[in-house]
């Protein structure tokens, strides 16, 4: 395959074209958005084999792994957007406090404009197409920038978008460092970035020059806690999957384990057994074990295996030329070593021990906030302590990774692991501006006209009374006031013989208030 061109001059014309398209309001049509999402699904179906081949070339993944972590989950995300787009796009009426009424209040979820999605190389398809689909569903124009480190996947995504989506609204810009640097300086309306904290800071800094909001999914060192009362075999299987899937190149992977001292030996023995069950005696020959993405990253992992002062229990072999790192477990590495301070992003798992959960909480809280925290055990007390006394993008009990496949849960980081979130309705609304709309009634009789001068003591007393009930929804007050007032007026009119005339006079006023307050 030819090397991806790093031509930053192509960016501005494409951006300008999409900006002009958005200003025609073409993408705001719900029917149009649905058509584009359906076409995207069709393209994924028809090009699925091309994606499998590309992912195998870039990351050495098998068809099963490609389906489970890329094509299938990507389709599910798009289908979720399609299934709910009508519901999520509706105007949302909210209460109007009585003190500012009578009137109506609503929220309109309008598209932001042109959204930039910067995908990662470790899951090129899944970090690129689902956030793009959320932006499409919300009515935006979108530019997708795939990672040049996964060039085959980048080219297939270019082909997908070019062939199946409206090119006046959506585009893929391929390129390397120069394109990446240039593209983040443009005045997009939103940037969705998946990558390392270091690169995320550069994106946020560039975006800040134009006050462009960002969703940054950045990863970090996600801790895993194995308590003494865990289901050991299930725990080990899920940790191995969470750490070693895609050769550990996963942003929410288990980056290190705290295992209770009383089950340390049993845990290590079970890890040895299950690693063989997963990948055989020689993982390098296993069809279920992936490669490291580049020789550079393989060399980086090789360096992490030096000077950690821990005990290598399993693995440790590295072949840079073949982009291979053996599944490795290291017991009690030095906590200040690079292995324990840098995100590993590879098939290496440090294991520490603990006696008291408070020690673990203190350790986690002394480090940057992770993208996920995993707890294996049945102690309700310890689960609650971790939920209440630690901060992470997500907390998961008795599983690894799979929380991000729930479209009803937001996916994102906190602190050093990022900010903002997407997936499901969260992704849709993150790609929208929630525009408040307040429509005030023109009714200007007492007591609604006491806001104007000249101010009197009586007006101030009435206003003070109103503010005491500031949170009271106007519909309750208006309904009650109209009902009581009408009953009183009805009684008086009946006594004086003006009942028919009263009904004629009051009807338009009642209808006006009813309509303008959305009751």
Q: Enumerate the active-site residues.
A: 217
How far apart (Å, rounded) are the C-alpha atoms in residues 236 and 242? 10
**Four-residue CA torsion sign, 37, 38, 43, 45:** positive
Q: Residues 506-515: contacts with CB within 8 Å, 24+ apart?
A: 509/443, 510/482, 510/486, 512/441, 512/443, 513/102, 513/441, 513/443, 513/478, 513/482
CB atoms closer than 10 angstroms to residue 394: 22
Helices and strands in the chain, H and E counts: 19, 18
265 exposure class (CB count in 10 Å sphere: 0-12, 13-18, 19+): exposed
Query: Nearest CA to 190 among 176, 173, 207?
Result: 207
Number of C-beta neighbours around residue 88 at 10 A: 18
Residue of 203, 306, 300, 287 lying closest to 249 (CA atoms)? 300
Cis peptide before 94 (omega within 30 of 0): no
Per the DSSP assignment, residues forming a β-bridge with 432 are 111
Q: 92-94 and 103-111 as β-strands: parallel, antiparallel, unpaired?
A: antiparallel
CA distance 348 to 256: 9
Residue 458 near residue 465, CB atoms below 8 Å? no
Rg for the chain, CA atoms, rounded: 29
468, with CB counted inside 10 A (0-12, 13-18, 19+), is exposed
Please give the distance of CA 216 from its chain centroid, rounded to a whole number: 8
179: CB partners within 8 A, 6+ apart: 6, 7, 8, 11, 145, 173
| Rounded Cα gap, residues 226 and 229, in angstroms | 8
How many CB atoms are located within 10 Å of the residue 448 CB?
Answer: 16
Q: Is residue 310 within 8 Å of 330, Cβ to Cβ? A: yes
CA dist., res. 52 & res. 498, Å (int)? 82
Q: Partners of 170 in the beta sheet? A: 142
Q: In this structure, what are the phi and psi dihedrals at residue 334, rounded to the nearest 5 degrees?
A: -65, 130
Instruction: Enter the tokens of residue 352.
Output: 């520490």
Distance, in Å, from the CA atom of 207 to the CA atom of 432, rounded to the nearest integer, reads: 18
Per-residue tokens: 423: 């997936």
């Amino acid at each position: 395959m030819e090397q991806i061109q790093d031509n930053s001059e192509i960016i501005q014309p494409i951006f300008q074209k999409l900006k002009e398209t958005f200003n025609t309001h073409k993408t705001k049509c719900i029917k149009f958005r649905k058509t584009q999402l359906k076409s995207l699904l069709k393209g994924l179906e028809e090009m699925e084999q091309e994606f499998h081949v590309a992912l195998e070339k870039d990351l050495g993944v098998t068809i099963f792994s490609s389906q489970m972590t890329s094509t299938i989950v990507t389709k599910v995300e798009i289908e979720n957007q399609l299934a709910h787009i009508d519901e999520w796009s509706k105007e949302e009426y909210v209460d109007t406090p009585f003190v500012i009424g009578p009137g109506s209040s609503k929220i309109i979820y309008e598209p932001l404009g042109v959204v930039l999605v910067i995908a990662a190389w470790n899951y090129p398809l899944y970090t690129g197409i689902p956030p793009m689909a959320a932006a499409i569903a919300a009515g935006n124009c979108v530019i997708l920038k795939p990672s040049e480190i996964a060039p085959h996947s980048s080219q297939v995504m270019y082909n997908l978008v070019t062939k199946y989506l409206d090119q006046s609204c959506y585009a893929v810009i391929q390129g390397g460092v120069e394109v990446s640097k240039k593209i983040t300086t443009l005045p997009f309306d939103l940037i969705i970035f998946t990558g390392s904290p270091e690169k995320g800071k550069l994106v946020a800094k560039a975006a800040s020059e134009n006050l462009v909001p960002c969703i940054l999914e950045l990863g970090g060192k996600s801790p895993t806690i194995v308590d003494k009362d865990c289901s050991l075999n299930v725990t080990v299987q899920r940790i191995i999957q969470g750490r070693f899937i895609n050769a550990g190149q996963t942003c929410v992977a288990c980056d290190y384990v705290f295992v209770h001292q009383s089950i340390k030996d049993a845990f290590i023995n079970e890890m040895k057994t299950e690693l063989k069950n997963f990948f055989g005696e020689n993982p390098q020959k296993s069809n279920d074990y992936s490669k490291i993405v580049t020789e550079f990253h393989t060399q980086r992992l090789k360096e992490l295996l030096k000077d950690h002062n821990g005990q290598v229990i399993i693995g440790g072999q590295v072949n840079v030329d073949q982009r291979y790192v053996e599944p490795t477990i290291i017991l009690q590495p030095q906590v200040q070593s690079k292995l324990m301070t840098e995100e590993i992003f590879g098939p290496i798992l440090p294991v520490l021990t603990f006696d008291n959960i408070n020690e673990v909480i203190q350790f986690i809280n002394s480090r940057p906030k992770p993208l996920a925290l995993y707890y294996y055990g049945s102690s309700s007390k310890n689960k609650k302590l971790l939920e209440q006394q630690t901060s992470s993008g997500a907390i998961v009990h008795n599983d690894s990774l799979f929380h991000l496949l729930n479209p009803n849960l937001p996916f994102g980081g906190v602190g050093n692991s990022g900010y903002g979130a997407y997936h499901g309705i969260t992704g849709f609304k993150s790609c929208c501006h929630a525009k408040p709309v307040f429509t005030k009634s023109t009714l200007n009789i007492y007591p609604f006209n006491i806001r104007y001068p000249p101010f009197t003591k009586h007006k101030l007393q009435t206003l003070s009374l109103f503010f005491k009930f500031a949170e009271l929804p106007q519909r309750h007050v208006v309904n009650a006031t109209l009902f009581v007032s009408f009953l009183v007026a009805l009684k008086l009119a009946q006594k004086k013989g003006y009942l028919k005339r009263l009904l004629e006079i009051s009807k338009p006023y009642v209808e006006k208030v009813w309509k303008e307050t959305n009751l």
